[in-house]
Amino acid sequence: MLEIKNKPLAVVLRIQFLFILATAIIFGYWLGVHGAISAILGGGVSFVSGMVFGLIISRHQGFLPDEVIKTALKAEILKISIIVILLWLIFKFYVSVIPTVFIGVFVLTVLLHSVALFVVNEK
């Protein structure tokens, strides 16, 4: 089953999801349906890439330093690749995107990813 076992990352993904929902409601009310869609897509890029990152990290089972670094690098490379591809696809195919909303929500959800540093990982 697909499960993110890293508690800080799971908490951050929940926070990102709630942030995306809130911004979609705000921009949907303010700018209409394309504002809401732009907010969802902008936040969704970071959310999806964060999910993939979390799933790769959660599958790691070794404790040797080289294995940990390889897994982290593989997860980060895949995350960045997904971000680049999704950004390109959205700007290429969604002609009604509102760029300021899309990029703004994207950047803020990326910054929310750093909240994981402050989540206590209790066992």
Per-residue pLDDT tens digits for 10-64 = 888 899 999 999 999 999 999 999 999 999 999 999 999 999 998 998 887 777 8
Q: Amino acid letter at 80?
A: I
In the predicted model, is pLDDT for residue 1 greater than 70? no
pTM of the model: 0.87
Can you tell me the mean pLDDT for 75-81?
Answer: 95
Domain-located, residue 123: no
Task: Note the pLDDT of residue 121.
Answer: 65
Domain-located, residue 92: yes
Round to whole Å and give the CA distance between 7 and 63: 18
Helix (H) and strand (E) counts in the chain? 4, 0
Domain-located, residue 94: yes
Domain-located, residue 100: yes
Domain-located, residue 33: yes
Quick one: tokens of 95? 């002609």
Domain-located, residue 16: yes
Residue 50 belongs to domain spanning: 7-116
State how many domains the chain has: 1
